[in-house]
Every structure is written in C-alpha cells, then in structure tokens.
Amino acid sequence: MPDISQNDFLGLREIDLFGLLYDYKKIISTGISEPFLKNLKNTFGRYGLKYDVLDESFDYQGRGKIYLIAKKKRYLERTKKAYKSRQFDLVGKYLGYPECCVRFYYKKFLKAPSSSDNLLRNIYHNSNNFSWRLNNILNFEGRIKGRNTPKEFTSFVQKTSSISLISHSPCSYNCKESLKIANLNQRYLFFHNRAHLNDYAILKKPILYLDDFHFIIFEGNSGEDFIRYRKLLVYLGLEQSKDYFLKGDSLKIDNNSALIFKDEREVAKKSYDKKILILPFDRLIGSYAKEKITLSFLA
C-alpha cells in the first residue's frame, strides 16, 4: 500500500478508510460535509475508488445525503439495494461489521428502539470483560439515530473528537471479532503516523454512565460498584452534578444513587432517575474479581 497522504482524505474517518484500502472493509457509508466534497471526489479517482450517493430517505440515522465508497462498483450496487429495501442488517454485513454485532444491533436497536441508553445497556449486560479498544462512548455514530438531542450535545461533539477504534456498536465489550477489527485499525493508525498512545488514553478510563447524553469519564480506577478518581476528564449532560463529584475522591454506586467520599468520609450523595452503570474500561473484570477489590473503608 503506498503512503496515504494526510490531507487527501480529510472529512473521512481514518479507521474506515484504512479498512477500505487494506481490504478488511468492502465499503464505507458516510456523510460528507460540503467543504470536503470536491477534494474528496478528486481523491477517490486518484486512489481508484468508486462512489454512489443516497438521499436522506434511505438513511436511518437522518443525516441527509450519504455516500457509499468502494473499490468495486458491484459492492456499491449491492449495498444500495440493501439500503433501498431497508435491509439494514445486510447493510451492516456489507460494511464489514462482525455478524454477531450486526444481529445484536438489529435485534436490540433497529427493530425495537426505545430509550437513548437501550443499546449501550444491552452491550454492558452482554459483556464478561471490558476491552478499552471497544470503548465506543465517544463514538455516537449508530447510537443517536436521528433523535432529538439536548442543546449541550452539539457543542460537546464540536469540542470532543470522536475517538474510537471501531466504527460499529459491538455486541459485547469482549467481542473477539470486534477486537480483531480494533487491532487492525490501531495498527494502521500507528503505521501511518495518524495516532500516538496519548490520543487513545481516554478510552482506558472508568465511566459513570446514565445514557448516551449523560455520562462522566474519570481519571482513576474502578471496582465492581465504585470509582476512585483524581479528576473528571469528560462530562456530558451532568454539568449540574459536576460540583458534587468535585467534592470527593471516590464514589460508590447504589442503584440510582452515587455516594461521594473524600478521604474515606461521605461528603455528598447524588440520585438520578435511572440506574447508574460503571463502565470499567480501565481494567479486565476477571483479573480483578479474583482479588475482590473494594473500597476498604466500606468493606
């Protein structure tokens, strides 16, 4: 593979681009912003890529026009037919997503969408371990699905990069097939000098999660029902809760409530209308479960 110019594909997600150019994806489905459109069309020709366009009526995420990009015309025709027949399970397959993840996504989200946290909570409950390479908390593609989003969400996305090593929603956070894709994406990002270790450090942090629009990423470490932390790294939709957590250095969850401690003394309590999840991307559950790590002062 010749060197891929940093500037040639501005406007496309590089993990999808590498999958296409290195042949572990046959097609890309993406929206393209108008400022990038002319240059990208020229780029497609130089790299031998074909493209086709679908209007917004075929996009279940409601993004407007989407572009299908592939090396071979027959892949475009096959995928366009699947879009037109609303066979989004086939679309996922053609996009190179693992079959187990396509089935899971189609069953849990496309066929029965409900609240904004429905999909991720199902992934959580389907997981035995939590690989940071499959952390999709900052990758909203495929989860937002054209919903009305809070005002702060738009500004949050503008300020926060969509950092992820996969472009699909995994069926679990220990899905072996998804990990293969994440490892390939990571390899080519580093090979082409598109990433440094610190760029993805945010994926290796524990998360307090309520739904797609309400979560906090902490600098710290987690146990089954607690997080010890040094600071708040990223927060969305919980600005009014921020001061509660800033009072402490650890928290323990109890269904819908977070008990907040400072120097082993409870200093605050914050309750919500949803059960709180801790997404422990800072650790592998199995290796810690044997040690039965707890907040010692609550043991």
Residues 159-182 have pLDDT tens digits of 777 789 999 999 999 999 999 999
Q: Any bridge partners for residue 188, and if so which?
A: none
Q: How far is CA 121 from CA 169, 194, 253, 280, in A?
A: 12, 31, 16, 13
pLDDT at residue 5 in the model: 72
Domains of the chain: 1-86 (3.30.1370), 97-203 (no CATH), 205-299 (no CATH)
Assign 231 a pLDDT band (cuts: 50, 70, 90).
Answer: very high
**What's the average model confidence in pLDDT over 230-253?**
93
pLDDT at residue 298 in the model: 54
**What's the average model confidence in pLDDT over 102-129?**
79
Q: Which amino acid is at 19?
A: G
Least confident segment among 32-36, 165-169, 194-198: 194-198
- DSSP class of residue 42? H
d(CA 1, CA 42): 19
Task: List the structure tokens of 290.
Answer: 């044997």
pLDDT at residue 3 in the model: 66
**What's the average model confidence in pLDDT over 94-117?**
78
Angle at 56 between CA 52 and CA 58, to 5 degrees: 70
Assign 78 a pLDDT band (cuts: 50, 70, 90).
Answer: very high
d(CA 297, CA 196): 38
